[in-house]
Amino acid sequence: MIEDATDTFGMALKALGYSANSIDPKAIKEAERLLAAQKPYVGSYTYVGLGEDSALVSGEMVMTMIYSGDALMVQEHDENIQYVVPKEGGNIWVDYLSVMESSTKKELAWAFINFLNEPENAAQLAEFVYSPTPNTAAEKLLPAEFLEDEDIYPDEEVLARSEFYAPLRGRALKKRAMAYARLMQ
């Protein structure tokens, strides 16, 4: 399992039929019970290696919670590894690039972001990390096989049962953090 309260509790909540963003104390308690019941079967609460020495490749691990692009990276070392979105859905993520207001090298930072967004570079990056690109000019440079891979570009049905994580505040965040701390003991 991923050592992250948001991902771990989010997916436990989804497995129980709740939103991954639920702040309902009853739902959080149910998710904590589910995670506690599964704990004896969890090898570790760390992220799986992505190289040829990965526990997934060696067979030491038979299943893990993993991000889609990372699963496809590990699949390079063993084509029998499959990435599956649970029937209840998963989370939808977005990576952002930003420049800090306090940066003393704003011009350089913006130049790097612009470099990454040049269509050829954005397409190369998407293929390297097995990730969709929001850059429509870059998409035109990607092979059809990549654009049609539903592990990279999930279909509408998968997206409909998945959701973005919402920021949690105050008590809701504290309740999840406390439940996660109990689980990690």
Structure tokens at 21: 């963003």
Q: pLDDT for 37-82, tens place per residue?
A: 999 999 888 899 999 999 999 999 999 999 999 999 999 999 999 9
**Bridge-partner residues for 164, per DSSP?**
92
Q: For residue 88, is pLDDT > 90? A: yes
| CA 85 to each of CA 41, 88, 125, 131, 172: distance values in angstroms, whole numbers, following the listed order | 20, 8, 23, 15, 26
pLDDT grade for 93, boundaries at 50, 70 and 90:
confident
Per residue in 130-182, pLDDT tens?
999 999 999 999 999 999 999 999 999 999 999 999 998 888 888 888 999 99
d(CA 32, CA 30) in angstroms, rounded, equals 5
Digit-coded pLDDT (tens) for 98-124: 999 999 999 999 999 999 999 999 999
Question: Which pLDDT score, from 0 to 100, does residue 185 have?
Answer: 86
Q: Which amino acid would we find at residue 118?
A: E
Domain boundaries, the chain: 1-90+161-185, 95-151
Give the model confidence (pLDDT) of 17-29 as tens digits.
999 999 999 999 9
- Alpha carbons 7 and 143: distance in angstroms, whole number: 31
State the CATH class of domain 1-90+161-185. alpha beta
